[in-house]
Structure 1
């Protein structure tokens, strides 16, 4: 029996969730890239959306220690990788989402503990953080279930 023959058929929701999660997490990847590349127009829009000046935004971005930047990258790229691995029907999708959760945990802790983050912590930020957490936890759980069901190999 070949590997393809032994693999369970992919349900429609695998493709739907993989696509939706890839689009959702690509937003975080874009934020990461625009911030790390120092895109002034993007940072100005983010500052305006947060109700702060560009100078405050610059100070916040500059305050990120290396370990927080690494955790942010792990959170963002782990989620994007997990979504891509779902498209490829790889069982390693769950590992990527777990790595994303680890990065998200460190980044969230730093965000809410750092004084530099204070101007950005508001109801919208808290709700958005909860949505991100639920998304990554949900995708990790879903990937685990699809692996156990033999859909991901």
Structure 2
């Protein structure tokens, strides 16, 4: 008797869409950390926004890394049907929490509202939580090995 769990079609859809979404966050983290002038220009970062990023303390910068790179890795692991996708999305949530704590107390320049509107953190949290829960459900159902 074959006990292999078939991969549901929605895993591929969610995996690919989340990989595309999380690629943007990972690229933003990497290119911003490398101080890519081309990236800042393309993303229309104002000078005040770049200065704001330069003021991130190490723990907030680490949170940003965990949030973006953890989610990117989680999407790859989801597509690979790895049970570790759940852990990667959990790490991503920890990173988002650290960044959110910092940004709640930081004096974000108003010029950044054009780059990061006020509703963006809500969307970010919603997607991150949904991916975390989805990966947990797929792990529980035996889809992720």
Task: Measure how far apart 1:101 and its partner are.
Answer: 0.3
| TM-score normalised per structure 1 | 0.86
- Equivalent residue for 1:31, pick from 28, 31, 47: 28
| Structure 1 stretches lacking a partner, 5+ long | none
Q: Does 1:19 align with 2:11?
A: no
| Aligned CA-pair RMSD | 1.8
Alignment match, 1:71: 63
Task: Measure how far apart 1:111 and its partner are.
Answer: 1.4
- Residues 1:67 and 1:35: Cα distance change in structure 2 (over 3 Å): same
Q: Does 1:134 align with 2:131?
A: no
Asked if the contact 2:70–2:88 (Cα under 8 Å) also holds between the matched residues in 1, the reply is yes
Task: Measure how far apart 1:90 and its partner are.
Answer: 0.8
Cα displacement string for residues 60-104 of structure 1 (whole angstroms, at most 9, x for unaligned residues): 121011111111000001101110111110111111101000000
| TM-score normalised per structure 2 | 0.90
- Equivalent residue for 2:94, pick from 102, 107, 112: 102
Task: Measure how far apart 1:41 and its partner are.
Answer: 2.7
Higher helix share: 1
CA distance in 1, matches of 2:61, 2:124: 17
- Residues 1:47 and 1:57: Cα distance change in structure 2 (over 3 Å): farther
CA distance in 1, matches of 2:50, 2:122: 25
Asked if the contact 1:112–1:121 (Cα under 8 Å) also holds between the matched residues in 2, the reply is no
Q: Does 1:92 align with 2:84?
A: yes
Alignment match, 2:40: 43
| Structure 2 stretches lacking a partner, 5+ long | none
Cα displacement string for residues 20-68 of structure 1 (whole angstroms, at most 9, x for unaligned residues): 00000000011111101111132234345xxxx42x1231121011111
CA distance in 1, matches of 2:54, 2:31: 14
| Superposition misfits of 4+ residues, deviation over 6 angstroms | none
Number of residue pairs aligned between Structure 1 and Structure 2:
143
